[in-house]
Structure 1
């Protein structure tokens, strides 16, 4: 049986409680092989079944039985952090109908109140009409209520100077930076290595992940400030995953790999065979059924 290096090491020290994942023998899938199965992350919530990055989407993930959800954080004109993927409002809201005379549709050019007035659900289906773009504070409170865990992405930090400090402040104010949350329920990731360096400098106790596929020769540099390499699945193979696993990350444990975006069973099994630690997916039920993940 293949046992992920970080999972095995943590289990040895914490009596089968995964520090990073927060899963335990009591809550994991039954049977002796649960440590070899990847974590399944609901990408932007259960985004194949509800409008992405909405409260409805993470609620759907909860009802489907998924603990881990992923989101994207950006900032409004008046400084409110909101949960949305694109840096414009066009694709997932009715902004063009509500504000037809605006010359820009970018999130950073709208106030939180203006964004609050938009419908972020009808584009996905009429049953979701009236869904809103949540603030990060609203989102964190809902994840807490649902007893879920969060893979939080700081999106395009180059557009929002200081967003790392502000994100950490909201997490602190919503109770997400105590030892229990930090060690078991929270990972912060970004495509920006500078942003992840900043998070690690400000809160070195937080588990971090770099989104991308650095060259193997560059991995030791990333290991200085991050715990995970989270690549597009098409850019990796088993040798690459082994190379990541062979390094100790920022917290002194074997680095891990969470691959994205995998939405079909065949690909999920292929990625599992590479030895990844997690799979990020719009269809968490499909992936769970294919790989026995949790």
Structure 2
């Protein structure tokens, strides 16, 4: 039986081939209106497929924000299933931005829904909350080994409301919550690589979400340490939220190597006639500005 290609390996190949841009697919009500589309599941479908066409060949990944589909109920999930299949057909990595988190059989079911091969909602990776402890996500973690899937753990998010919790210090060593989550993700990647050395590449399959609008030192997250395998980072905050691409290497240091620049409104607001050129131009800018 041949080894399953890891998410980290696929991520590395996508970055090498197409750069670091991750296009968020967020069918907001106001964007659907701006695009001349109905604020319905059908409108979200048309919007999403156009964004996928624009991203194909230029972005490493796409990140559907699941809430904007859930608001349409069953019809929204039907659209989402089609979007995830269409992303795969266009050779785009799909990161389901679901931010799920629970324990036991409940979190196992979340993993089955978003990461199990053959699931109607199968994605390459998902965002996940570890507020209930790193050990609570053991079942989704197993998919990174058995099925070549990826996880992005919420660690230092760009919303200011999270500041007090994520900078709080815990444990005997007094590390921040954000740093603890980063360390847990890196520790998993290192242990997995030690057990399966021939199957693991230079990039791990468990990453973290780190906001580009933050001073990571304030959150206790080291950007100087060279991590092996490299830690995947999903970095929202560029573009519309104000972070400059020219600051990416300064912001993320050694973590830049496996960082995905996540942008949504900065390209989606271009509208249906210009979204393809907006994605293409942004992808080229990311390649120039975020280079190691």
TM-score, length basis structure 2: 0.43
TM-score, length basis structure 1: 0.43
The structure where helix makes up a greater share of residues is 2
